[in-house]
Amino acid sequence: MSNGTEAEYEVTHGRPQAFYENFDRKGELQHQTHYCPGCGHGIVHKMLAQAIDELGIQNRTILVSPVGCSVFAYYYFDVGNVQGAHGRAPAVATAVKRSHPQSIVVSYQGDGDLSAIGSAEILHAANRGENITVIFVNNAIYSMTGGQAAPTTLLGQVSTTTPAGRNAANEGYPLHVSELLATLEAPVYIERVGLGDNRQVAQAQRAVRRAVENQVRGLGFSLVEVLSPCPTIWKMSPVDAQHWVRDVMEKTFPLAVLRDRTKDVQPKAAPATGPALEEIPRILGVTDEGEAEPSDAQAKGGVDLQVRVAGFGGQGVLLLGEVLAEAGLHAGLEVSWLPSYGPEMRSGTSNCHVRLAREPIDSPLVAHPDVLVAMNEPSLHKFCASVRPGGWIFYNGETVPEECERKDVHILARPFMHVADELGDGRAGNMVILGALLEATATLPQASVDAALGQLVKSPRWLTLDERALARGRELLRESLQEVCHEG
């Protein structure tokens, strides 16, 4: 046997197109990788590049490279490249893919990157069934940082941080991430392959190609774990390291197809395109359309009303304030509504500050209210002293406790909830109080209150009830004023 001339031969296996011609590396090293002789990363790179070539997706491909020995994968792949933080490649890839669903996104990660620091990111990307391809290069060690233990380090395996060999009692057991992910519903394809001999290499090549092709077909999350030699850190010759993959590593991490639903799943539908730009303000509800007709219902004169509403959750404290603020806005005033939220928010108390003013409002915090609405006794206790002289206190109770009596403010104490009960639902008690408040302050036109209520209360039943409650509250106030007159 011998050779004919070169001209009679054609290249069948040569440098894949998906690699750059020259690598953006230091000095004269631009034609070779930074990987050590016999490194599995180089072999897996070639498989991925071949798959990209065969599927004709070079322009569409985006490679997310990890932190680990393959951190510089972007030197080699002539595709779109994003270099991410340690372990976060699946999160980065998730967003890249969702930003450009037509792109083919590959998250390339080492075992430290994927199974330790990035264990949450890979789990959740897999669980969401992101339509991405993950290439997981497992060399059972942190290679880049010089050989510390990884979650995948074998029992008994010596590393710089397990100098006596990995001991389950201290470091736990080798983590089988692929098996773990295969318990999830969403992934469509998970396979563990090796680089231990020719047969394994051929299978690995097929698996890498399938994992990419699944994405091209829109099937969903695919992951290939590759048991990969690291001759340098393992302190073996490249050939021995290759054999160690087959003879030792494979015993802990059996090669297998752990998930294959590629035949059962339907390709993911392309996401719907968004609406026309002009539609967006309407979708957000920020256009003039739908705005209540500008009314003549304008508050008159100089207004500066400061209100504090306090009670327990479920007593309608926040809504009372909101109707007031919304009505003020309708009446052409400056308004602010501030829920007192904070540690107390979780202890059941609820309380808000409302200001209505003619002038721009400086502070939305109401320290000295003109009107205090106290839905219960603790609230009354807490705030009664802060009310400005000449102001109002509306107290949801029969009688004001002695300590809270004040001669310099108007007080209306009624069991407002009971009043509302008589109207059909005690929960409308807040609106009874609001009615009284509106009547007492005489700041806002009824039309503004109606408009606010219409906007905030969507259920017709509640709207009717609230309207009746407001009217009843106004009545109560008028009655009480008459009582005062009679007494006077």
Ligand X SMILES: Cc1ncc(C[n+]2csc(CCOP(=O)(O)OP(=O)(O)O)c2C)c(N)n1
Q: Which residues bind ligand SF4 (CB under 6 A)?
A: 35-36, 39, 41, 69, 139, 143, 230-233
Residue 96's Cβ-side half-sphere holds a number of Cα atoms within 13 Å equal to 24
What is the distance between the alpha carbons of residues 395 and 415, in angstroms, rounded to a whole number?
Answer: 8
Q: Which is nearer to another protein, 89 or 413 (CB)?
A: 89
| Shortest distance (Å) from residue 15 CB to ligand X | 23
CA angle 436, 442, 448 (to 5 degrees): 90
User: Which segments of 332-459 are extended strands (E)?
Assistant: 334-339, 349-357, 371-374, 392-396, 410-414
Q: Does 205 bind another protein (CB under 8 A)?
A: yes
Tell me the closest approach of the beta carbon of residue 114 to ligand X, in angstroms.
7
Q: Per CB under 6 A, does 175 bind ligand X?
A: no
Q: Where would I find the H helices in 182-279?
A: 198-216, 231-234, 238-244, 250-252
Site for ligand X in 67-106 (CB under 6 A): 67-70, 86
150 touches ligand X by CB under 6 A: yes
CB nearer to ligand X: give 94 or 109: 109
Shortest Å, Cβ 281 to ligand SF4: 54
**CA angle in degrees (0–180, nearest 5) for 455-457-460:** 115
Nearest to 177 by CA among 90, 82, 52, 64: 90
Of the two residues 154 and 417, which places its CB atom closer to Mg ion in the complex? 154
Nearer to another protein, 11 or 164 (CB): 11
With CB under 8 A as the contact rule, the residue among 172, 275, 313, 314 that binds another protein is: 275
User: DSSP 3-state assignment of 209?
Assistant: helix
275 binds, among ligand X, ligand SF4, another protein, none (CB under 5 to 8 A by kind): another protein
143 interacts with ligand X by CB under 6 A: yes
Residue 95 binds which entry of Mg ion, another protein, ligand SF4, none, with Cβ cut-offs from 5 to 8 Å by kind? Answer: another protein
Of the residues 104, 137, 211, 374, which one makes contact with another protein according to CB under 8 A:
104
Q: How far is the CB of 74 from ligand SF4 (least distance, A)?
A: 16
Give whichever of 36 and 186 is closer to ligand X, judged by the CB atom: 36
Among 53, 81, 252, 260, binds another protein (CB under 8 A): 81
| 387 binding another protein? (CB under 8 A) | no
Nearer to ligand X, 159 or 205 (CB): 159
Tokens of 227: 């048991």
- Picked from ligand X, Mg ion, ligand SF4, none, the partner binding residue 322 (CB below 5 to 8 A depending on kind) is none
Window contacting another protein (CB under 8 A); options: 165-173, 308-316, 329-337, 475-483: 329-337
237-to-144, 148, 229, 230 alpha-carbon distances in Å:
18, 19, 10, 9
Query: Considering CB distances under 5 to 8 angstroms, the limit depending on partner class, which of another protein, Mg ion, ligand SF4, none binds residue 111?
Result: Mg ion
Contacts of another protein in 418-477 (CB under 8 A): none
69 binds, among ligand SF4, Mg ion, another protein, none (CB under 5 to 8 A by kind): ligand SF4
Indicate which of ligand SF4, Mg ion, ligand X, none lies near residue 145 (CB less than 5 to 8 Å, by partner kind): ligand X
The secondary structure of residue 77, as a DSSP letter, is: B
- Please count the residues of this chain forming the interface with ligand X, following the rule CB under 6 A: 17
Q: What number of other Cβ atoms are within 10 A of residue 215's Cβ?
A: 28
CB 444 within 8 A of CB 299: yes
Q: Which is nearer to Mg ion, 74 or 136 (CB)?
A: 136
Q: How far is CA 336 from each of CA 286, 302, 437, rounded to the nearest angstrom?
A: 19, 17, 17
224 to each of 63, 173, 212, 315, how far by Cα in Å? Answer: 15, 21, 10, 57
* Phi and psi based region of residue 343 (left: phi greater than 0; alpha: psi -120 to 50; beta: remaining): alpha
Strand partners, 351: 310
Residue 38 interacting with another protein (CB under 8 A)? yes
Give the DSSP per-residue string, 110-149. EHHIIIIITHHHHHHHHHHT-S-EEEEEE-SSBTTTTSB-
Give contact residues for ligand X (rule: CB under 6 A).
67-70, 86, 110-113, 137, 139, 141-145, 150
